[in-house]
Structure 1
């Protein structure tokens, strides 16, 4: 519901909201400019003295008005004709025209009514309402993605468009909500939908019928500083019943023109003060710096609109279109999906279709959207969860465990959890298992026992489906057909071989970039855009299951490069190691945004061993900004498997890598990369305490040793690896 409330106003009213935001941002510039250009008023100048100065210059003076910026404007009759100007309070004489700036007038009409009169005002109000809905729903979604309101500024993961969308929202959402809410108030006031609330000064004494009392001698005007003046209106010449009317920040009063006596006074009502405050907050008049800040926030709307459309398109591409997906409040079965690359959504679509055909009403949504209050008719909840990395939550499940822990009571509907992973990894379905264990600890009733699918096996999924069907009392046949990846043909253009002397054949394989359409370049699909740390999926002959290799290059490098070690009996590694220049291979690209360096200048501590140097070398190669990089690399022997040895020497000379520390495990005294870390422990601790980020790539045993070494190094400083991971400052790509 929240996501839909955010999505549709944004998509349907995008152009209108952008026009209002940009015109509002442009208008926010005028109040500070006006304030800077206005002549300064003496601090102790009274309204009486100001009026006397202007009247001396323009005897037919009718009105003096002070703008919130401090600018003084006067209007008069001169020889029967009207005159008006901005005046200098020091002399009372004209310094500029009183006519509004033409650009400001044009922008104001565009912003208020789109040049369409009352119909345009209503349309602008609809745009403000859409912005308010976007701001409030967006705030909820940001908190949900960050893991709660307390983690509002937590580091984000995921594609650049999504991160940029949220980062701008974090900075701008409060100002946009305020601007849109005040705009709706002002529109309602324009159409008299709100009470006026203004109190007119009741004349409690009869005018004297006299004229000509010196304005400089009127006591109330002498006691009122110009800084409080809003407007002073003069009596009509020759009309003895007319009076002076004074409006100030404190209220309004009537003054006898013949005696200078106050005939009546009314202070500002609470309603007037509220209305004026809202007007000031929206226009910035009277609070120029604040208005300018709101204008800067409004400048983020076009960027949020563009990135929001990209996020919407990416979500449509990454998750299959599930036909007949019912609203959460009407569904008997709730499917919650935790997916990183999108394959788990395919299984969810198969389950959704089978349950729907069996007569169930089914709602599918990301685990991140978990909200038991919405599941009014749910009779069962089923979670399909992949695992990212070394047991972490996948992208669409972030924050689920936190929300589960915060529940005072679990849903009455029973729960089924199925995990998806690769049994060759030690963290096989670790996140799904953590979800199942947390649910059991909360007392959530189990529908069927926890189960897992290995390597996207349709057979495993069908077996679990039969057990689920028995629990539901229906015949549930899950015939899942995985969606094939969009493979492209890559041609090997170069290779460098290492490791033969230490019985660990390894090669750096470089492939030519495949041809990519302009549309894929613009949208970043496939090989249209990639970075070091992303994954290359290779489908070996005789297997339906791809193998993944971390990329050591990015699109800007002009080639696709991976590091491969031949494993005994390894089908894919054996075929890759047998390639010669000119040979083709079928491959596809998978984004791995969690293993990219953060876009800042914080130092990087890169730690890898063996083929784990691949993406780390790619990060160094891409470090044209000379960001401080400290690389720790473990190898067996420098004469046989010092991968990227020559390049690293050159990159170090260019300043792309600040420090290179190597560890050799074969020899008289074996030295592993975790030992190298301990040797540099003081420097590592200093770097991490100053904000450095840690990135680890390589085998799981190496990663465990590195984690233990870092724990020992950081323990005296009260810093833990778990805390660094929670902050997004310690990431792993472990295999």
Structure 2
């Protein structure tokens, strides 16, 4: 419900909001310019200021002080009214007080769209829409993060969806404040707020005299200029008129003959709040806040565009043929991080629809059995993110499943999607199946998995589903190729050739990105060391993934690749020459990188697994304690990153470097040097240290066994470290 409300309100109001927001961005510049050009403030009284202005301009009728400190006097030049910004030090005009035609035009556009009161109601409606979007966006942000306590964690995902989420997070406070203050100002203009105290009753007992010296008026002497809002002078030749003084605390009438205070009225709370809100909204008096709000408003067209793109992509992924949940007999829910699982869901939906079933397809975050009165089955296609976590479109699903009672006559089928090379293969889907069984949900068919997006695994599962449903269909899924970028190789360093175990450090240049691609969120995605690059080898549709040894800020993309016997992709990569091109895409891997802060980091790797570890060291410019344990064959043939490691140790990015060589006179493996350094490792972990491991599965298992012994002596265990995010593996 929240997602639909957020989407449709945003799409319908996007044009209005864009116009209002962009005009607001332009207007935010004027308060800053005003603050820069306003004459310096003077620590004087209103009496001194008024006397100086009257001496310079005897026909002065009014003096106003803006929240920025700018003082404006209104007077006559001959028989023509005039105004000027006043230098309070002299009381003389310093510059013109006229508003530029551009500012006046922008103000009318922003306030009323040139439609007077009708336009004001329209822009107020836009403010209400923005407030609704800000509130619903906040709830969606919390849902995406997995709960309110995670709302400030780094944003997951990629492409337009990630850009939308990142920009939303940055702009949300400013948009919330702008919309809320705009609604208050509209209510004030149309008299919808409680009435304020108003002006005091005009006095009937004036002295009838004129000509009091301004510097002798007690109230004007006691009022600092910084408290002044306005001072109106009595009309020339009218002995019954008075001085009218408005300050933050209230409004007063002062006799022009003897300077006596004739009447006073305190400012009501509504007026005080309204004055403060106008300052917040316009930035006059808070120029820095005006610029912040302007920057936030600049996000509106970006959010409108990326929101539209995400919606269009989602619509295509879910297909327009999806039946409404209230009418469907089959509910198909998808949990996907990168979007590939949606392709399998579309294939399944098409097959079931062709058999006459009414299928509703949606994200797993929309799990609401109470809304499906005609449903006879629920099918869950769940990918696993990172180390067994829920993907973005399934946030909160586990919690909903645990609190939802099993519904008789509504069996579940759970199909997991993952990669067997990862330790937590289909961990999220397996957790769902276990919880569903414990809660008493009937199983439509047994839990099953699809490895590496295998169409064969999917077809095999589909045949069992068809048999169970008594239908006749075959799931023939054609994987959708991911969008790839052409990356040219700019350099390579080769190792291991002398022992027939070629390993290469390959550095690729980043694609050139146009301004339009950046503005539309279609630029090459940002990445960090530890993220993954998917490379599609020639002769295959299935990408192979390699851990990145660099980040976007390094200005290049680097990987470390060992040639595998019979390996299609590694063979092609290790045969590349500078200038050759690969087709590749980036996939985030935020669970494998050093945690923020200054706690120690223990890097453990072997062979080509040093790639991301070298990337972590390269970006450790803060010189946090970072210890590398690295195993390889021989220093003469496999000294990967030897020069960099030596340099990084000297400049403090690496606190220590310990190496093990398996093909020397005294062979050793990385687990051996860990065992020898058990005391220091134990102290580092006790100090809150994090362990990051990259390399082969066998190496990681051997390292885990050694670390388990070391941790036992410190009262820790691997399970505890993993649960707290202090132990992560990137294995193959």
TM range (shorter): 0.7 to 0.9
How far did 1:306 drift?
Answer: 6.7
Tell me the distance in 2 between the aligned counterparts of 1:234 and 1:520: 56
Per-residue CA deviation, residues 250-308 of structure 1 (Å, 9 max, x unaligned), is 33344454565555444333433333232122112344444444344445556656766
Tell me the equivalent position of 2:435. Answer: 438
What residue in structure 2 maps to residue 364 of structure 1? 361
Query: Does 2:212 match 1:214?
Result: yes
Give SS of 2:81's match.
strand
1:450 aligned onto 2:447: yes
Alignment of 1:74-473 (within 5 A): 74-77=73-76, 79-100=78-99, 104-105=103-104, 107-113=106-112, 124-125=123-124, 127-159=126-158, 162-163=161-162, 165-187=164-186, 189-190=188-189, 192=190, 194-195=192-193, 197-201=195-199, 203=201, 205-208=203-206, 210-212=208-210, 214=212, 216=214, 217-218=216-217, 220-258=219-257, 260=259, 262=261, 264-301=263-300, 315=313, 320=317, 322-327=319-324, 331-368=328-365, 370=367, 380-401=377-398, 404=401, 407=403, 414-422=411-419, 427-442=424-439, 444=441, 446-458=443-455, 460-462=457-459, 464-465=461-462, 468=465
What is the DSSP-based 3-state SS (H/G/I as helix, E as strand, rest coil) of the residue aligned with 1:150?
helix
Show the counterpart of 2:2: 2
Q: Secondary structure at the match of 1:365?
A: strand
Q: Is the 8 A contact 2:64 2:73 kept in 1?
A: yes
Q: CA offset at residue 572 of structure 1?
A: 3.9
* 3-state SS of 1:61 partner: coil
CA distance in 2, matches of 1:235, 1:298: 43
Note if 1:591 corresponds to 2:586.
yes
Moved more, 548-557 or 347-356: 548-557
Larger mean Cα displacement after TM superposition, 587-596 or 689-698: 689-698
Q: Is the Cα–Cα contact under 8 Å of residues 157 and 594 in structure 1 kept in the other structure?
A: no
TM-score normalised according to structure 1 size: 0.78
Which range is displaced more, 81-90 or 590-599? 590-599
SS at match of 1:562: strand
Q: Is the 8 A contact 1:53 1:91 kept in 2?
A: yes
Report the Cα distance in structure 1 between the residues aligned to 2:494 and 2:48, rounded to whole angstroms: 89
Structure 2 match to 1:563: 562
Deviation at 1:387, TM superposition (A): 2.7
Q: Could you tell me which residue of structure 2 aligns to residue 534 of structure 1? A: 532
User: Retained in 2: the 8 A contact 1:389–1:733?
Assistant: no
Aligned to 1:482: 478
Tell me the distance in 2 between the aligned counterparts of 1:466 and 1:674.
46
Structure 2 spans left out of the alignment, 5+ residues: none
Counterparts of 1:36 and 1:551 in 2: how far apart (Å)?
47
Structure 2: distance between partners of 1:341 and 1:137: 24
| Superposition deviation, residue 485 in structure 1 | 3.4
Indicate the SS of the match to 1:634: strand
Listed one character per residue, the Cα deviations across residues 562-599 of structure 1 (whole Å, up to 9, x for unaligned) are: 32333xxxx546994999789xx998635331168689
- In the aligned structure 1, how far is the partner of 2:527 from the partner of 2:39? 57
Q: 2:501 aligns with which of 503, 506, 525?
A: 506
Q: Is the 8 A contact 2:334 2:382 kept in 1?
A: yes
State how far apart, in whole Å, the 1-side matches of 2:524 and 2:642 are.
28
TM-fit CA distance, 1:437: 2.0
Q: CA deviation at 1:507?
A: 2.7
- Unmatched runs of 5 consecutive residues or more in structure 1: none
- Contact 2:128-2:179 at 8 Å conserved across structures: yes
The answer to whether the aligner puts 1:58 opposite 2:53 as a matched pair is no
CA distance in structure 1 between the aligned counterparts of 2:252 and 2:570, rounded to whole angstroms: 93
Structure 2 CA distance for partners of 1:576 and 1:273, relative to 1, 3 Å? same
CA distance in 1, matches of 2:238, 2:64: 22
Tell me, what secondary structure is at the counterpart of 1:506?
A: coil
Q: Which piece of structure 1 moves more, 373-382 or 197-206?
A: 373-382
- The alpha-carbon distance between structure 1 residues 516 and 717, as it changes in their structure 2 partners (threshold 3 A), is same
Q: 2:640 corresponds to which residue?
A: 644
How far, CA to CA, are the matches of 2:714 and 2:254 in structure 1?
73
Q: 1:361 to 1:299 in 2, by over 3 A?
A: same
Match of 1:70 in 2: 69
After superposition, what is the alpha-carbon deviation per residue over 1:31-83, rounded to whole angstroms, capped at 9, x for unaligned?
4554465445555x444454344334433331122211233222223543433
Deviation at 1:609? 1.7
Say whether the 8 Å CA contact 2:318–2:342 is kept in structure 1: no
TM-score (structure 2 length as normaliser):
0.78
Distance in 2, matches of 1:511 and 1:328, equals 50
Structure 1 residues 517 and 33 mapped into 2: Cα distance closer, same or farther (>3 Å)?
closer
Deviation at 1:212, TM superposition (A): 1.1
Judge conservation of contact 1:594–1:731 (CA < 8 Å) in 2: no
Q: CA deviation at 1:327?
A: 4.8
Q: CA RMSD in A?
A: 5.2
In structure 1, C-alpha distance between the alignment counterparts of 2:249 and 2:602, rounded to whole Å: 62
Asked if the contact 2:335–2:392 (Cα under 8 Å) also holds between the matched residues in 1, the reply is yes
Q: Measure, in 1, the Cα distance between the counterparts of 2:721 and 2:459.
A: 40
User: Displacement, 1:179?
Assistant: 0.6
Q: Decide whether aligned partners of structure 1 residues 183 and 610 sit closer, same or farther in structure 2, where only a CA change above 3 A counts.
A: same
The answer to which of 352-361 and 101-110 deviates more is: 101-110
| SS at structure 1 position matched to 2:502 | strand
Deviations 1:474-502 (A, max 9, x none): 5263423232537999999999574886x
Change (3 A) 1:67 1:720: farther
CA distance in 1, matches of 2:354, 2:120: 49
Q: Secondary structure of the residue that 1:354 maps to in structure 2?
A: helix
CA distance in 1 between partners of 2:201 and 2:522 (Å): 75
Q: Find the counterpart in structure 1 of residue 604 from structure 2.
A: 607
Verify the 8 A CA contact 2:603 2:613 in the aligned structure 1. Answer: yes
Greater Cα offset, 128-137 or 101-110? 101-110
C-alpha distance in 2, partners of 1:39/1:518? 45
Q: In the alignment, is the contact (CA less than 8 A) between 1:28 and 1:295 conserved in 2?
A: yes
Contact 1:637 1:666 in 2 (8 A): yes
Aligned residue for 2:473, secondary structure, equals coil
